[in-house]
Amino acid sequence: MSERPHVTGLDVDPETRCRHYHSEFDRIAIRFHCCGEYFPCFQCHEAVGCNNKSVWPKEQFNEKAVLCGACGNELSIRDYLDCASSCPHCAAPFNPGCSLHKHLYFEV
């Protein structure tokens, strides 16, 4: 079994919740296009990330760039955007409110 990717952020728990987003359903991390590192949220990236913000272009939506904090499965961006707020691998629910921030991570 492969090791889970490292998630950088502020007060990150084992399911990728952080200081900014820590409800029961906040359990994804996003690999940022600009630096290739996983962060729980855009605020963590702003606080301790690369300072070179860029979003994933649509033509790269097949890249694995979303990590389920429950099972450690990496989802493609397309799979994440189409998943209806639950992990297609383990069925753990994701926060549906994250869709309000997708423009911060992905080209819309």
Residue-wise pLDDT for 12-70, tens only, equals 999 999 999 999 999 999 999 999 999 999 999 999 999 899 999 999 999 999 999 99
Contact 52, 34 (CB under 8 A): yes
In which band, very low, low, confident or very high, does the pLDDT at 101 lie, cut at 50, 70 and 90? very high
- Residue 39's pLDDT is what? 98
Count Cβ atoms within 10 A of the Cβ of residue 91 and give its class: 0-12 exposed, 13-18 middle, 19 or more buried: exposed
Rg (CA), the chain: 12
pLDDT surpasses 80 at 1: no
In which band, very low, low, confident or very high, does the pLDDT at 105 lie, cut at 50, 70 and 90? very high
- Residue 61's pLDDT is what? 98
Average pLDDT over residues 74-97: 97
Q: For residue 95, what are its two tokens? A: 């926060």
